[in-house]
Each structure stands twice: as structure tokens, then as C-alpha cells.
Chains A and B, each alone.
Chain A
Amino acid sequence: MGRYIIRRLLWTVFIVLLASILTFLIFFVLPAGDPALRFAGKQPTEELIAQARVNLGLDKSLPQQYWLFLSRLIGGDEYGWPGLGYSFHTRDAVLPELIDRSRVTGSIIVGGALMWMVIGVPVGVISALKRKTFWDRGLMGICLFFISAPVFWLALLSLLIFWKHLGWLPGTGYVPFAQNPGQWFAHLILPWCILALLYAAIYARLVRANMIDVVSEDYIRTAWAKGLSPRKVVMHHELRPALAPIIALFAIDLGALVGGTIVTETVFNMQGLGNWLLIAANNNDLPVTMAVTVVVAAAVCILTLIADVLLAIIDPRVRLQ
């Protein structure tokens, strides 16, 4: 197990490097405008642009530039470790903003994920156990609604109702936990719900399908033949095999959301990573793009590693190699 984890961590480093190289290449192969031009001020002269290019390091060859990025990343720079430079767009240091924005996105994702698991799994299990009844049809109908409803529309609608009309919630924006935990929670509850509803619906349908497969397995018939109570059959025999395949998916979904809660962040006016990536891409902001890429790639790799280890613990047939 230990050797496996070390090997997977090395692999993670490799994937992160690969992702950063790809992002780097895409950035230069598909230029959306010269970053130096913007940097050179309102009336750019040839010299100013050239000067800006030198300042940004854009005068060097591609391999040199990448090498510079890498050595800063690993060795750190004047803003700390890992070295991520400063934004071409705002000229602010990337690292502190990355940390702030990671907190925002992290809050959204972790709360949302908790919520969608807490809702999705029981709904799926209940639907499967009450298969073809009123409850099953009702719950699955609701799921279908949330899967097909546009997140953007749901988010705006919920803001309109709970903020504007009912006045239950303080509004949009993000309040750091350290500043005011109550406000942090009040501002996040709606984004959590919006994020969770879609995923809860998807997961409920998956859990239901898995459960329905599992309940007709031979080993479940054996469990009944042992004289176990229905509760024990479900909790001790059906749930584990039904949930095991969900874990890998959960890890991938979480990882993808690290850079992907753009709609939620935009509607609720939260300065998270997804938002940032969007702005950076629009502004040819290489350092920010690279920073978010590295974080997302590392998050996906580490989350899938955790998922694989968890699965091996849950299912003895799975071998880690």
C-alpha cells in the first residue's frame, strides 16, 4: 500500500507537469492577443511593448520560459512557495489570491458535496427499496427535473425567492469563515443547495440503479436465508457493493469542480477559482491560467488516488498496483 501511494504521488507530479506544459503550449499556439500590448499602457510605443515583453519574460524562447515557470514553481519566488509569479492582468501576486480563492471554491465544493451525498444516497436507496411505488416514481421524477433544469436558471430563481422575496438570506458574495462563521454559512447555503441538487439527482439515480442490481444478487438471497432483519440486509449487505462504484465517480466530480463551479460562482458573486480561470483566459493572463491548471490537475490526481485507496479498503477483491 505504502509503495503504491508513493508511486501514485510521483505519477501525480508527472500529470501536473504534463498539464502545465499543455496549458503553456495552448496559450502560445492559440494567442488571443499579446499580453505585452496590454501591459505597455494606453499609448504603447514599440519600445514600451518591447520593454513590457522583457519584463514579462516573453522575449525568451518557449523552453526557456517554461523552464523559468518550473524553476519558480519548485524553488519559490518573492511571493513565497510555490512560486506562481504575478498576474499579467492585475499585476497582483498570484499565490495569495490563489489561496483566498481556493478557500471560496473549497467551501462551495465541500459543503455542496456533503449535501449531495447526504441527499443523493438515501434517496437512491429508498427509491430502489420502494421500487415501482409512488415514492420511487415521485423521487425519480424530481431527480429528472433537477438534472434537466439549467443550473443558472435555478440559481437565479432561488436568489429571487429566498433573498429578494422572503428575505431569509443575506445576499450574494462570500464572507470568510474566520471573519464570521454565521455569515459564511448564510452566504453559502444557497450555492450549496444549487450545486447539491443537480449532483444529488445524478447520484440518486446511480445509487438506485446500483442498488437494484445488488438486491438481485445471489449473496443477498443468502443474507435473507440467514434470517437477517431487512435493516441489516440493507445496511450490512446491500449498501457497500452499491456504493463502491460511486466512490471513483465522486472523486472525479469533486476534482472537476475545483475549476468548474463557474456558474455558481458567477451567479452568487463569489470570487472562486472557476471565475478566476474564466477571467484569466479572457485576458491572456498566463500566470493565473497556469496556477489554476496546476491546482486542478493536482486535485484530480490526489482525489482519484484517495478514491482508489478507499475502494481497495472497501472491496477486498480490488488489488492496488
Chain B
Amino acid sequence: MSSPREGHKLLEVRDLRVHFPTEDGVVKAVDGSSFALDRGETLGVVGESGSGKSITFLTVMGLINRSSARISGSVLFEGEEIIDASAARLRDIRGKRIGMIFQDPMTSLHPMHRVGDQIAEVVLTHTGASKKEAARLAVESLAEVGMPSPETRARQYPHEFSGGMRQRAMIAMALVLKPSLLIADEPTTALDVTIQAQILELIDELKEKFNIGVVLVSHSLATIADVSQDVMVMYAGRPAELGARDQVFQDAQHPYTWGLLESVPRPDVRVERLIPIDGQPPSLITLPPGCAFSPRCRHVRPECTAAVPELRDRGSGHLDACIIEPDEKTRLREERLAALEAGA
């Protein structure tokens, strides 16, 4: 067992693969994913439904049942390998050193337990704190996430909360023991637009305050744009593009990212209508040969289907998995933008 040492990343994932053998074939939910995250940073993760976002981070949490999946690669959390850690070791990490919140706050809290008790349970599980002390910490944590009258709220049940308040309670639960990593899997998808912004702002605030690493998973680039330092675009279980926020937003290198950007309303580009990406996500059982995006790519060429493209660094940590030369891509991107502005 490696003990946490100085100098390592908070989270470092290398060539992660999560394959589910099923009756129809092996579902390659995650198929060679690599990325890293530091404390104090937010990694925004975007991709279509089924691109393996949740499976990637459930694996990081050690929540994928090893009997139902074949997992390979490496997940280093604070220098410690998660992939082959014992169940007891993983339990120790979950909730204490990594907190996780989910898409639907309406269903993610236990309907039959008081909110305060649900938060206190994390404390009681991981520390020797007394019940009273745990309850106090739960109330404190609720106050931390901006819950009005936290003492009263702690005694209430989830059905007495609004959606936004429930997500705040989930955040309070995830952060009650001050973990170093928060994984937020589409934390705002199920919420009203006005509440979405509040929750994102809260997560950002708490990240600064506690200097934690945050993974923010979302369907859309727009959601993560304001709060992410790094962005990973996933397609069919792998990163298509990975880089600093400005690199990905200003200088996108992958045609799939272009498609995503074009389907987001942007103040700086006037478009007549939003262009959804053509076609359907591929079957994860029989992936297209070569680049998995090639069947949907407008710029596909014969080389694309020859081999699975590696993630390549375009300089200064901006990686992408498209084999088209950068100059050529700049030209293609300009053409696309021009076409958009013409209202094509």
C-alpha cells in the first residue's frame, strides 16, 4: 500500500477500462480513459448520455461491482491505487476522503430518515464522534451550504425540502468530513434553471473555501463553462478532448467538441439556430473501427477508421484524439463558424 506522498496529483486516472460482460456482448462503458486533477481545481466532464461519465467516476469511488465488470488501468487517489484496493479500504475512502453527489436530489436522499441523521451517519461511520457531536457537525454542514435555519431543517425529512434544498443537503452530506475530492455527477440536471446557477456557485465557493478538487459532470458545455478550470469531453468511453477551459472553449480541436459547442447558445457567436450533432451515439458493444466518432463526423477521411486514435498533446497540456492536422482543423473550424453565422 502506498502512503500519500508529496508531489502527486489528487486524482490521476490512467488508461481506465470498465467492461461489462452481458448476454449481448461486452459493453465497453469506459475504454481507455486518462486524466488528472489537482486540489483546488474543477474538472468539467461533458459528453452525451451513455458516454461513460457516471461509470468512470463510480469506478473512482469503488462503487462498480467487480463481479459484474472487468476493470483495468489505474486510478490513483492521493497516490493510492483504487482499482485493486480492498473493500474495507474503499469504504474508508468513500464519504470521508471522496464525497459524491448525484443527478436527482429528489431520489438521492433516503425518504424515511431525517436529513440531519443522514448527514450525521457519515460522521458516525468514519469517526469516533458521539451522536451528539455528529448531529452538531451535521447542522454545521447544513449551515455551510447555505441552508436557512439548519437546526430545524436537520430534523426534517427530505420530502419537506425543495429540489434545490435537497441538493444542498446532499452537498452538506458529501462535504461534512471535509474530503479532498467532490464528485458531482450532473448535480443540476434535475433542477430549475435559477437553482442550477445557485448550486454551481455554491460548489465553486466551497471548492475555494476548502481547497478541494471537484469533478463536475454534465451533459452540456454551458453548465460547466463558468466554474471549470479543466474540461474533458468524453465520447464512447474515452476522452475526445482534454485541456484547460479556455483551450477547449476557444481553440477546440476535436470535431465532436465543435458539435457540442455549436449546440450551445453563445453570446459571442450569433447563430440562427442551434445545430444538434447528427446521428446516434455508437453501440458500446461493437464500437466503430478506428475513431468511434468517425461515423458521425463531417470531416471523416479514410485514415480515421484505420486505428483507434491516441490522445495526443497539442502543446501546453491540450490533448485531443483527432488525427486531422491542426492547420487543417483551424481551416475546417473557420468554415463551420462561417456557415453557422450565415444561418446555414
Residue ranges of A at the interface with B (Cβ–Cβ < 8 Å): 217-219, 221-229, 232, 236-237, 240-241, 244, 314-317
B51 CB, nearest partner CB in chain A, Å:
19
Q: Which of B92, B107, B173 contacts A217 (CB 8 A)?
A: B107
A224 to B157, CA, bound (A): 20
A192 CB, nearest partner CB in chain B, Å:
32
Contact B112 A314 (CB under 8 A): yes
Within 8 A of A (CB), among B106-144: 107-112, 121-122, 125-126
Contact A219 B107 (CB under 8 A): yes
Given contacts A219-B107, A225-B100, A226-B122, contact A316 B157 (CB under 8 A): yes
B111: which A residues are within 8 A, CB to CB? 219, 241, 315-317
Contact A241 B107 (CB under 8 A): no
B110 CB, nearest partner CB in chain A, Å:
4
B75 CB, nearest partner CB in chain A, Å:
16
A224 to B90, CA, bound (A): 10
B88 CB, nearest partner CB in chain A, Å:
9
- How many residues on the B side are at the interface (Cβ–Cβ under 8 A)? 28
A229 to B94, CA, bound (A): 11
Contact B110 A219 (CB under 8 A): yes
Contact B108 A316 (CB under 8 A): no
Contact A222 B102 (CB under 8 A): yes
Contact A223 B126 (CB under 8 A): no
B63 at interface by CB-CB < 8 Å:
yes
Chain B residue with the shortest CB-CB distance to A232: B125
A218 to B111, CA, bound (A): 11
B91: which A residues are within 8 A, CB to CB? 227-229
A227: which B residues are within 8 A, CB to CB? 90-96, 122, 125-126
A217: which B residues are within 8 A, CB to CB? 107
Given contacts A218-B107, A221-B63, A221-B102, contact A226 B173 (CB under 8 A): yes
Q: Which of A228, A240, A241 contacts B125 (CB 8 A)?
A: A228
A237 to B57, CA, bound (A): 23
A74 CB, nearest partner CB in chain B, Å:
42
A270 to B111, CA, bound (A): 45
Contact A218 B126 (CB under 8 A): no
B311 at interface by CB-CB < 8 Å:
no
B219 at interface by CB-CB < 8 Å:
no
Contact B63 A222 (CB under 8 A): no
Given contacts A225-B94, A227-B122, contact A241 B173 (CB under 8 A): no
Chain B residue with the shortest CB-CB distance to A238: B110
Contact A317 B159 (CB under 8 A): yes
B234 at interface by CB-CB < 8 Å:
no
Contact B159 A225 (CB under 8 A): no
A212 CB, nearest partner CB in chain B, Å:
15
B100 CB, nearest partner CB in chain A, Å:
4
A230 to B174, CA, bound (A): 19
Contact A226 B104 (CB under 8 A): no
Contact A226 B109 (CB under 8 A): no
The 9 closest A-B pairs by CB, nearest first: A227-B95, A227-B94, A218-B107, A226-B95, A316-B157, A219-B110, A225-B100, A227-B91, A218-B108
A241: which B residues are within 8 A, CB to CB? 111-112
A221: which B residues are within 8 A, CB to CB? 63, 102, 108
B121: which A residues are within 8 A, CB to CB? 226, 228, 236
A193 to B108, CA, bound (A): 41
A284 to B104, CA, bound (A): 62
B195 CB, nearest partner CB in chain A, Å:
18
A228: which B residues are within 8 A, CB to CB? 91, 95, 121, 125
A315 to B61, CA, bound (A): 30
Chain B residue with the shortest CB-CB distance to A237: B110
Contact B157 A218 (CB under 8 A): no
